[in-house]
Chain A
Amino acid sequence: MSDLIFSQNYFEIFSLDVSTNPDLALLNENNRALQRLAHPDKFANSSEAEKRLAMQKTSLINQAFNTLKDPALRLQYMLSLKGIDMNAETDTTMNGAFLMDQMELREKISEVRSQSDPLDELEKISKDLKSSSANLIIEFDKHYQADDLDTGREVIRKLQFINKAQREVSELTEQLEDELL
């Protein structure tokens, strides 16, 4: 396997077009194919330098795979390809209406225990969050195509909020299930 991957972007590594909605089955398949070539286990009898290189290549492939698999990370990466680093920014003001929605949602989550069927309620919230997330990806795509990256950045921030709420819902679900068990 050539050293070219060190200069490729994550999409190129997996022979995918830059897209908000890449073919995940193909991503998985190409990941396995690359690992077959680069994984350190394939270099068990090679020199230390080759072993090290294999580890670096596989680390990069795994990093790229993780980034493309996760929607928020994927979109953020797409922005970074256009020179925008979201981790470095300090201006994080958000749309007021969106923040209100988020606060309402948080309240709903924190009060879920008092519902008659909290697990069912959490599942509903989770479904809503999933569809919001899907809509945001479509919205981002529109702005990205139109090269309106500032608006795209705002969409990702919203997506990050949604993801955080989704994680809280999963954690609470786990907690409640554990208590029921």
Chain B
Amino acid sequence: MALLQISEPGQSTKPHEHKFAIGIDLGTTNSLVATVRSGLADTLADVNGQHLLPSVVQYAADGVLVGQEAKDHQVADSQNTISSIKRLMGRGISDLKILGDNLPYAFSTSDSSVPRIKTAAGDKTAIEISADILKVLKQRGEQTLGDKLEGAVITVPAYFDDAQRQATKDAAKLAGLKVLRLLNEPTAAAVAYGLDSGAEGIVAVYDLGGGTFDVSIMQLRQGVFEVLSTGGDSALGGDDFDHAIAEWVIAQAGLNANDLSAGTLRLILQEACAAKENLSQHNQSEITIKFEESQTWFGTLTRDIFQQLIDPMIKKTLMSCRRALRDAEIEKHQVMDVVMVGGSTRTLRVRELVGEFFDTQPRVDIDPDRVVAIGAAIQANALAGNDPEGNLLLMDVLPLSLGIETMGGLAEKIIQRNTPIPVSKAQDFTTYKDGQTAMAVHIVQGERELIDDCRSLARFELRGFPPHVAGSARIRVTFQVDADGLLSVTAREENSGVEASVEVKPSYGLQDSEIESMLKASMEYAAEDKDARSLREQQVEADRVIQAIDAAMADDGSVMLSDNEKALIIEARGKLQAARHQATDSQELKSVMANLEKVSAAYVAKRMNASVQKTMAGHKVEEFNND
């Protein structure tokens, strides 16, 4: 009985029922899934006992492989085997150059703002590829828990902009996952670390992953994790160390990267990565590469050379640290602990320079690969309603300032970076032409003054406000950033109170319609699934129709209808009620519903007329002709 299930807000209907939710760390190099069981948070393993899922997908003509199996094909089938796809999330075709010339993929030419990689299984966007990784993690969660999932918390780099966050959310939608929250990776790490150690005070989380870098300055206090500031670089990570070594190898071997095949480049990168990892244990690393034509190159990478290659990149991360401290108004000595997160913090030189910078020994005792997923699982568990005392609270900030384009290509900041979220800000605009009923607002994200130096997020087209004399309309545009760090825009004309319609044209994202068509095409919804789904949709619709008819009949049925008309409607209603519970196919239900709509059409029209007359009573017709 629906009426008996009403509960206090924030309480679940059955307090003792445990709801399963997962935390997902969707990484550049590896991804993980974790959950809380019997009060303990841990990452989940696959059937082979592996926790890390390499973020690699192979699109062969005969099927899709994800993880280690895909990674094994990286050299032999480099064109169809996609890795580090996170770097392309929320990015446009014009960004491909910035991300490096060595992307071994072929891109299809299309008019979409989103790059599509050509594979044997068709063109794939970063969103679809990420969705394929998420599907595997979701399945792992469902199989391990043997239960339906309430939803997932998915982590993103704190420094991800709006487009990158939206792309992540879209990927989850495509994978059939309900996103409880997008959570910033350093915040997730702090949750796991803070709850585990019971530490209270100011903490810096230094998170260097495969492709992204974040630093967050946080205050930990009685279960509240408050981000004071965040900084970073969403295109800098351990991948870049590998690339630097690979370039060094190619130069040492006297070769030119342009002459090498995608497979050879991939092979060199793999060797470079192995050498990097080896240097965490040894003073030098031997590198052997078998080129085409059975040429072989030997070389030795010493720690000294390695340091020369990567120091400039580490220094860039320290610049972000300094900025974050300044934004938080925190001095280095106030930082109690520096928590090292992300696989790339295993590089000894990183630990050394970070330690020097903060003048303290950084914490390396937590598993840098798993801590983010575990933190996400803890929040997912709380959001699913399994944290009855409700002690855990995460307060995060907007990583990059949001602005709008003004005259002369300048960016005017609307919401400053490191403002706590959710946050909303209203700004008034006016029209510059008589009778103007629409306007466009171009939103950018970034710290620079010129529009061209910031990241274009979207163009919002506001339509449908009443025409006024130029300069007299007052259009209040409200920018709302939610707890996921995602922006939405609403607009209304203040003099008339008319709400404008807002159409979003994302600069580097997919339109809603594109996502929908991908969803439809997705294997996830096989034919059967689809039928069940549309039947459910029709059942909901039937309930709505029955409810509306009942309400109308109770209101004025006996006044407006003859006995005969009334009987016809009641009969059709009864048939729909029965079909609602018995019909097994949506078409059947639909036709019964159409019948009810047909017999009641005249009644609906009559009611509408009556209500219009009621509204107009006492007014002159001219009043309604005026705009």
List A residues at the B interface (Cβ < 8 Å): 32, 35-36, 39-47, 50, 55-56, 58-59, 62-63, 65-66, 170, 174, 177-178, 181
Contacts and interface: CB of A to CB of B under 8 A. Distances in A.
Contact of A35 (B180, B315, B395, B425): B395
A41 B394 contact: yes
A43 B323 CA distance: 34
Nearest to B482: A55
Contact of B422 (A59, A174, A178): A59
Contacts of B11: 45
A172 to B, nearest CB: 12
Interface in B534-559: none
Contacts of A55: 422, 480, 482-483
B414 interface: no
A42 B422 CA distance: 13
Contacts of A56: 424
Contacts of B419: 62, 66
Interface string B1-26: 00000000111100000000000000
B9 A50 contact: yes
A50 B382 CA distance: 18
B326 interface: yes
Contact of A170 (B221, B326, B424): B326
Nearest to A170: B326
A117 to B, nearest CB: 18
16 contacts: A32-B393, A39-B393, A41-B181, A41-B383, A41-B483, A42-B10, A44-B384, A45-B12, A58-B483, A59-B424, A62-B423, A63-B423, A63-B425, A66-B420, A174-B322, A181-B315
A50 B9 CA distance: 8
B393 A40 contact: no
Nearest to B483: A40
A32 B326 contact: no
Nearest to B383: A44
B15 to A, nearest CB: 12
A56 B319 CA distance: 35
B215 interface: no
A57 B424 CA distance: 10
A6 B425 CA distance: 15
Contacts of A65: 420
A178 B323 CA distance: 10
Contacts of B318: 181
Interface residues of B, number: 34
B10 A174 contact: no
Nearest to A61: B420
B323 A174 contact: yes
A88 B480 CA distance: 23
Nearest to B224: A32
A116 B517 CA distance: 63
Interface in B169-207: 180-181
Give the secondary structure class of A's interface.
helix
A63 B319 contact: no
Give the secondary structure class of B's interface.
mixed
A122 to B, nearest CB: 13
Contacts of B9: 43, 46-47, 50
A66 B228 CA distance: 12
B493 interface: no
A41 B382 contact: yes
A47 B6 CA distance: 11
Contacts of B319: 174, 177-178, 181
A14 to B, nearest CB: 14
Contacts of A43: 9-10
A171 B331 CA distance: 17
B191 to A, nearest CB: 12
A42 B390 contact: yes
Contacts of A41: 181, 379, 382-383, 393-394, 483
A47 B395 CA distance: 22
Q: Which of B318, B419, B422, B480 has the most CB of A within 10 A?
A: B422
Q: Which of B318, B323, B420, B480 has the most CB of A within 10 A?
A: B420
A44 to B, nearest CB: 4
A44 B382 CA distance: 9
A46 B232 CA distance: 34
B421 interface: yes
A161 B322 CA distance: 25
B424 A35 contact: no
A78 to B, nearest CB: 20
A63 B315 contact: no
Contacts of B90: none
Given A36-B224, A36-B393, A59 B423 contact: yes
A112 to B, nearest CB: 18
Given A35-B224, A36-B390, A59-B422, 10 more contacts: A32-B226, A32-B395, A41-B483, A42-B390, A62-B422, A63-B423, A170-B326, A174-B326, A181-B315, A181-B319
Q: Which of B382, B394, B423 has the most CB of A within 10 A?
A: B423
Contacts of A66: 419-420
Contacts of A42: 10, 390, 393
A177 B423 contact: no
Contacts of B482: 40, 55
A66 B433 CA distance: 36
A63 B483 contact: no
Contacts of B385: 44-45
Contacts of B326: 170, 174
A47 B10 CA distance: 10
A50 to B, nearest CB: 6
A166 to B, nearest CB: 11
Contacts of A50: 9
A13 B323 CA distance: 31
Contacts of B393: 32, 35-36, 39, 41-42
Contacts of A59: 422-424, 480
Contact of B10 (A32, A45, A170, A181): A45
